[in-house]
């Protein structure tokens, strides 16, 4: 059981997506409370009812903003994708539920309109462990199946589609002595490194590399006519002809190249484009 709980799980650190999520959930809570009127708010006057509903929606908004935007920004070391797992995701969801529930409880106490025992709130949070765990497991398995199927399709197409081009490409460096001219078909990967790019290429059975003082954007513009050279990440461009295999798990995708002792990440935004290209 402990082994399963320690399996990787992707932490959602997309602030733009989370901002939209917070907004729509808060609006959803507002609409639900106002339309269905639980907790006897239908017995209140229109003004009292609106105050209660707006207060609960605001607590929801503040709780989610704290947990999905502020805490991950203030404590990035705790929310690293590479160390996130099922156990942490379950505890994280329980924490979010707890902060919202405590906020609702304190709000009810402040209003003095409803009587809610804190033990009941605590019991509901404990009971919520079961559906939250089930939802996380189902979601993880869904993402894993999707990513595995995606990479299977990529790997099949990699074998079927290999394009060769022998044109020379000339990388101009800010330092003339670092200029590099090679056949574009021999390019392996290009990696951004501060004010430099590091170009890897094949020379016979060897892999060579050279640092060139220029930007990845300049390299991208230089190679834009070569369809098989693809920017798969903000820091990487790859030659799709040399991709040995692609692996995917719940944390995303990685490309592997024969002879390189490191993998190349693929950003979510580029994954589908890579599939279409190959």
Q: pLDDT of the chain along its 278 residues, tens only? A: 677 788 888 787 777 878 887 888 778 777 766 666 555 555 555 667 677 778 878 888 888 898 888 988 888 888 887 788 888 888 888 888 888 888 878 887 787 766 666 665 666 566 656 766 777 777 777 777 888 888 888 887 776 655 545 678 889 888 878 899 988 889 999 999 888 999 999 988 899 999 999 999 999 999 888 888 889 898 999 998 888 888 887 777 899 998 898 999 988 878 778 877 76
Q: What is the largest CA-CA distance in the chain?
A: 82
Residue 139 lies in a domain: no
Read off the CATH number of the domain in which 264 is found: 2.40.50.1020
Q: Are both 117 and 223 inside the same structural domain?
A: no
Residue 271 lies in a domain: yes
Q: Are both 205 and 273 inside the same structural domain?
A: yes
Q: Which of 82, 112, 127 delimits the end of a domain?
A: 127
Q: Are both 24 and 84 inside the same structural domain?
A: yes
Q: Are both 45 and 90 inside the same structural domain?
A: yes
Q: Are both 54 and 98 inside the same structural domain?
A: yes
Q: Which domain covers residue 26, as residue numbers?
A: 2-127
Residue 138 lies in a domain: no
Which residues, including other chains, have CB under 8 Å from residue 239's CB and lie 6 or more apart?
185, 187, 188, 189, 228, 229, 230
The predicted pLDDT at position 6 comes to 84
Q: Which helix (H) or strand (E) holds 247?
A: strand 243-249
Residue 152 lies in a domain: no
Q: Which helix (H) or strand (E) holds 232?
A: strand 229-233
Q: Which of 103, 127, 151 delimits the end of a domain?
A: 127
Q: Are both 176 and 73 inside the same structural domain?
A: no
Task: Report the domain count for the chain.
Answer: 2
The predicted pLDDT at position 162 comes to 53
Q: Are both 252 and 169 inside the same structural domain?
A: yes
Give all strands of the β-sheet with 252-257 in edge-to-edge order.
243-249, 252-257, 264-266
Residue 156 lies in a domain: no
Q: Are both 6 and 120 inside the same structural domain?
A: yes
Question: Which residue has 């000339």 as its token pair?
Answer: 170
Orientation of helix 46-65 relative to helix 86-111, angle to 10°: 150
Cβ(67)–Cβ(96) under 8 Å?
Answer: yes
Residue 69 lies in a domain: yes
Q: Are both 98 and 169 inside the same structural domain?
A: no
Q: Are both 181 and 244 inside the same structural domain?
A: yes
The burial class, CB within 10 Å (0-12 / 13-18 / 19+), for 238 is buried
Give 32-40's long-range contacts (Cβ < 8 A, gap of 24+): 33/57, 39/114, 40/114
The predicted pLDDT at position 104 comes to 79
Global pTM value: 0.53
Residue 252 lies in a domain: yes
User: In the beta sheet, which residues pair with residue 237?
Assistant: 190, 231
């Amino acid at each position: 059981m402990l082994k399963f709980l320690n399996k990787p799980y992707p932490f959602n650190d997309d602030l733009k997506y989370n901002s939209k999520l917070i907004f729509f959930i808060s609006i959803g809570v507002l609409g639900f409370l106002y339309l269905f009127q639980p907790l006897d708010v239908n017995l209140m006057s229109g003004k009292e009812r609106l105050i209660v509903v707006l207060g609960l929606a605001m607590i929801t908004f503040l709780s989610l903003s704290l947990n999905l935007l502020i805490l991950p920004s203030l404590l990035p070391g705790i929310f690293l994708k590479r160390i996130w797992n099922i156990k942490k995701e379950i505890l994280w969801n329980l924490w979010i539920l707890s902060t919202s529930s405590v906020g609702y409880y304190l709000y009810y106490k402040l209003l003095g309109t409803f009587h809610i025992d804190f033990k009941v709130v605590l019991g509901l949070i404990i009971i919520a462990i079961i559906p939250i765990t089930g939802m996380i497991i189902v979601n993880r398995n869904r993402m894993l199946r999707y990513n595995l199927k995606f990479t299977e399709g990529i790997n099949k197409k990699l074998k079927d589609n290999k394009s060769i081009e022998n044109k020379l490409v000339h990388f101009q460096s800010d330092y003339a002595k670092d200029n590099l001219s090679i056949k574009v078909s021999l390019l392996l990967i290009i990696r951004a490194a501060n004010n430099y790019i590091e170009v890897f290429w094949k020379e016979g059975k060897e892999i060579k590399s050279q640092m060139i003082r220029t930007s990845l954007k300049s390299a991208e513009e230089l190679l834009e006519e070569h369809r098989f050279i693809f920017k798969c990440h903000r820091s990487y461009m790859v030659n799709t002809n040399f991709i040995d295999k692609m692996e995917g798990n719940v944390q995303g995708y990685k490309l592997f190249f024969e002879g390189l002792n490191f993998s190349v990440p693929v950003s979510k935004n580029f994954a589908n484009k890579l599939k279409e290209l190959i």
